[in-house]
Structure 1
Amino acid sequence: MTETRADSAAGQGAQPGARGWLSRTLQKLTADDQTVDARELQSDVVSSGCAPVSACRKGEVVTVTGRLKSVVYTPRETVPTLEAELFDGSGSVTLVWLGRRRIPGIEPGRRLTARGRFAAFEGRQVIYNPWYELSAG
């Protein structure tokens, strides 16, 4: 009887890493789209050398990368603001540009890298007036 790769991975004599390969493959096949997207974004964070949002602490100057989930113009009494939610697979941070109504290229679904001082305001994680670089594609 011939032993298949799945059978050998489940057996006692499996090569190191074979069981992990099977487990990762099954997770990819059964995961929903949001989970797959979050894993892709997390791998981008690792490969770019940026900090995961979940690891950022208040007061640190951080560089984060991810995809914009939403972009909202918020007219305020004092200063208008443009707010964009950046998701990197581990968490979200709100990028806030004070005095701006619109920034070309800042739109939902766009990938970007942002750098600035990590802060907390009204229970949200924010970076005010971040330096940013739009990613191609």
Structure 2
Amino acid sequence: MDEVSAGTPQGAGPGRRGRGGRPPAKGGGLRRFLRRMASSTAELEAEELQRTSGDEGATPITECGERTRHCVAGTLRTVTLRPRGGAPALEAELYDGTDVISLVWLGRRKIAGIDPGRMLRAEGLVSVQDGRKVMFNPRYELRGGS
């Protein structure tokens, strides 16, 4: 008769193999599947944006502190022409799955490639105006297709 240690079911030792000679799954696949089925599309898109932003070495927008330089990445939700102090200013709302930051290019009416739905990476000084995070005249890179 085999020796079985207390609390370990028979046959569940470290040498046990599942199908195809692989160790049995820890239940992560089923858990992930069920979570994806129960999540809304917006939640799934936010998770994907967070994963993509992290892959690019960007700081999550929620972690961006005021008066500090950061690199952020995400998708442009809106792009509007909003005059500031009588001069034109192109304003875009960048969403990374955690929060939103406004990117403002002063003196610009249009920038090629800055369109809603476009993925973008931006770097600059973060400030807060009216409770919203803002980055003025950021250095940017367009990412992926729109």
Both proteins in one fold, TM over 0.5: yes
Larger radius of gyration: 2
CA deviations 1:2-60 (Å, max 9, x no partner) are xxxxxxxxxxx7x8862333222111122111111000000001111110001110011
Quote the residue 2:138 is aligned against.
130
**Unaligned stretches of 5+ in structure 1?**
1-12
Counterpart amino acid of residue 23 in structure 1: R
Between the aligned partners of 1:65 and 1:37, the Cα distance in structure 2 is 14
CA RMSD of aligned residues (A): 1.6
Matched, 1:70 2:103: no
CA deviations 1:82-130 (Å, max 9, x no partner) are 1000000010100000111111110100000000001101111000000
Matched, 1:39 2:68: no
Q: Provide the identity percentage.
A: 41
Residue 97 of structure 1 is aligned with which of 105, 114, 122? 105
* Greater helix fraction, Structure 1 or Structure 2: 1
Secondary structure of the structure 1 residue equivalent to 2:27: helix
Matched, 1:52 2:60: yes
- The answer to which of 84-93 and 24-33 deviates more is 24-33
* Length, aligned pairs only: 124
Between the aligned partners of 1:93 and 1:72, the Cα distance in structure 2 is 14
Residue 29 of structure 2 is aligned with which of 21, 40, 54? 21
Matched, 1:106 2:114: yes
Between the aligned partners of 1:16 and 1:91, the Cα distance in structure 2 is 38
Quickly say closer, same or farther: Cα 1:29–1:77, change in 2 above 3 A. Answer: same
Quote the residue 1:119 is aligned against.
127
Quote the residue 2:94 is aligned against.
86
**Unaligned stretches of 5+ in structure 2?**
1-11, 13-22
Secondary structure of the structure 1 residue equivalent to 2:30: helix
